[in-house]
Amino acid sequence: MPVYERGYRSWEHSGGAGTPAWWAIARRGITDPLKSRRFLLLLVVAWVPAIVKGGILYFTFKMGELSKLIGGNWTDISSPGFRSFLEWQTPFVLIILAIVGSGLITKDKAENGLALYFSRPLGVRDYVMGKGAITLFYYFCVTLFPVLGLCVFGYLVTNGATGMDMLLLIPLKSLVYCTISGVCYSLVLLALSSVGTRTVFVALWWVLLFATDGLAEIMAMFAPSLKILDFPGQHLNMGVLFLGGDGIKGVAPVVSLLIVVLWMAAGALVLRRRVRPVEVVS
């Protein structure tokens, strides 16, 4: 059909408010993976430990002494018990963030999509904030949200016998811990994603970062202080500050918090240098 027959109408504004750019980016990035059934299944699997812990909590309160047969942290409804729960979620954090976050900037850069973003009225901060919100949301999906769910469930099961601990303190402590940890994971993953143009390599680097857990363990046999190289371990050790419990021997939780902050700063620095409205010349 010739151009003159297709017509063109100027935009007639409906009067509604425009969407903030970072939120438009985040909303799209959050809803996209949910279209995949496999990903949805993975999310359900990531909730299995929470469901199991919830079931155990229920039977603990209903059957009393029988719960001793189970033992361990599964029946622990204090803060350290929830810290242990967050530790069990680490593999899900690794897998789900690798799936969601590896391509977030990589794909945009590979297709020169950054140029499109930055031809719009948005800045690097909006872009990073939007992308970061996606990874933070999915991090919360496998950490904070199950903890909050368990707290509410525990409070209901015990008929309020746990008091404000279960309803206020543990959720607040978990929120602070998960926010710091989640922002760090997001910034580091986005920084990795901004460096490469192949999603698979970004995912590989992400897995290697989590593999420092075992690597640091081996190296610590020669020098215990090398445990600071354990990337996910620092997050869990930092959790001792907020939720209590036993951390990494030989590394103070405050040191771990500082290391986490350093990782965040490094991630932000890389993003600042790598995310620019520059056309990729291939």
Interface pick for another protein out of 40, 116, 168, 265 (rule CB under 8 A): 116
Q: DSSP E strands: which ranges in 12-59?
A: none
Interface pick for another protein out of 37, 119, 221, 249 (rule CB under 8 A): 119
Rule CB under 8 A: say whether 128 interacts with another protein.
Answer: no
Cβ atoms within 10 Å of 171's Cβ, excluding its own: 19
Rule CB under 8 A: say whether 38 interacts with another protein.
Answer: no
Choose between 4 and 222: whose C-beta lies nearer to another protein. 4
Interface pick for another protein out of 120, 160, 161, 163 (rule CB under 8 A): 120
Instruction: Give me the half-sphere count of Cα atoms (radius 13 Å) on the Cβ side of residue 181.
Output: 33
Rule CB under 8 A: say whether 139 interacts with another protein.
Answer: no
Choose between 26 and 243: whose C-beta lies nearer to another protein. 26
CA–chain centroid gap for 152, Å, is 21
Stretch touching another protein by CB under 8 A, among 6-14, 146-154, 155-163, 202-210 = 6-14
Interface pick for another protein out of 91, 113, 160, 163 (rule CB under 8 A): 113
Place of tokens 């919100």: 133
DSSP structure string for 111-138: TTHHHHHTTSS--HHHHHHHHHHHHHHH
Instruction: Give me the half-sphere count of Cα atoms (radius 13 Å) on the Cβ side of residue 121.
Output: 3
Rule CB under 8 A: say whether 37 interacts with another protein.
Answer: no
Rule CB under 8 A: say whether 34 interacts with another protein.
Answer: no
Rule CB under 8 A: say whether 118 interacts with another protein.
Answer: yes
CB of 40 to another protein, least distance (A): 17
Rule CB under 8 A: say whether 279 interacts with another protein.
Answer: yes
**Structure-derived torsion over alpha carbons of residues 194, 200, 203, 205, reported in degrees to the nearest 10:** -80
245: left (phi over 0), alpha (psi -120 to 50) or beta: left
From CA 233, how far away is CA 249, in angstroms rounded?
A: 11
Interacting residue ranges for another protein, rule: CB under 8 A: 1-4, 6-11, 13-22, 24-25, 28, 32, 107-108, 110-113, 115-123, 125-126, 129, 277-282
